[in-house]
């Protein structure tokens, strides 16, 4: 008696993403993004843009003067042509920003980590 099993979904679980590709992995280029102008309020929004990478799996992390920050947003990557673009943003205390505290964004990819440091430009 032959039995077939179709329980592969249970094995992988809901929400598991598997990427199969023959493309050669390509490291992202990472660019810091910051608000233009003085802005208002107690917070400043900073961003981290990763472009031209493959495969799509990319994870951001943020730190302030070496201490990990966890309250940030990471948007799903989008494909443009044959490569992906991803972005993350974080709101930081305006006093820290005005006092030129260093913030670092790290984009972790299968090809390695790429980082960008964000510091308020001097006048």
Structural domain containing residue 78: 22-118
Closest CA relative to residue 72, chosen from 46, 95, 93:
46
Q: Each residue of 80-110: pLDDT tens digit?
A: 889 999 999 999 999 999 999 999 999 999 9
- 64 is a domain residue: yes
Residue-wise pLDDT for 16-74, tens only, equals 666 666 679 999 999 999 988 766 789 999 999 999 999 999 999 999 999 999 999 99
Q: What is the DSSP letter of 70?
A: -
Torsions phi, psi for 24 (to 5 deg): -75, 130
In a domain, 100, yes or no: yes
What's 100's DSSP letter? T
Q: Is there a domain that residue 57 lies in?
A: yes
Tell me, yes or no, whether 14 lies in a domain. no
95's enclosing H/E stretch is: helix 94-98
Residues 6+ apart with CB under 8 A from 102: 64, 65, 117, 118, 119
Task: Please check whether residue 47 is in contact with residue 87, taking contact to mean a CB–CB distance below 8 angstroms.
Answer: yes
∠ CA 108-50-105, nearest 5°, is 55
Total tally of structural domains belonging to the chain: 1
Residues 21-31 have pLDDT tens digits of: 667 999 999 99
Question: What is the CATH number for 73?
Answer: 2.60.40.10
Dist CA 59 CA 86 (whole Å)? 9
The greatest distance separating any two alpha carbons of the chain, rounded to the nearest whole angstrom, comes to 80
């Amino acid at each position: 008696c032959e039995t077939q099993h179709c329980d592969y979904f249970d094995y992988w679980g809901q929400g598991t993403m598997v990427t199969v590709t023959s493309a050669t992995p390509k490291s992202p280029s990472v660019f810091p993004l910051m608000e233009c102008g003085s802005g208002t309020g107690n917070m400043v929004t900073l961003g981290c843009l990763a472009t031209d990478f493959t495969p799509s799996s990319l994870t951001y992390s943020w730190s302030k003067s070496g201490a990990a920050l966890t309250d940030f947003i990471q948007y799903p990557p989008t494909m443009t042509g044959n490569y992906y673009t991803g972005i993350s943003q974080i709101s930081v205390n305006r006093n820290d920003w005005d006092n030129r505290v260093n913030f670092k964004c790290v984009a972790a990819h299968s090809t390695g980590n790429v980082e960008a440091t964000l510091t308020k430009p001097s006048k």
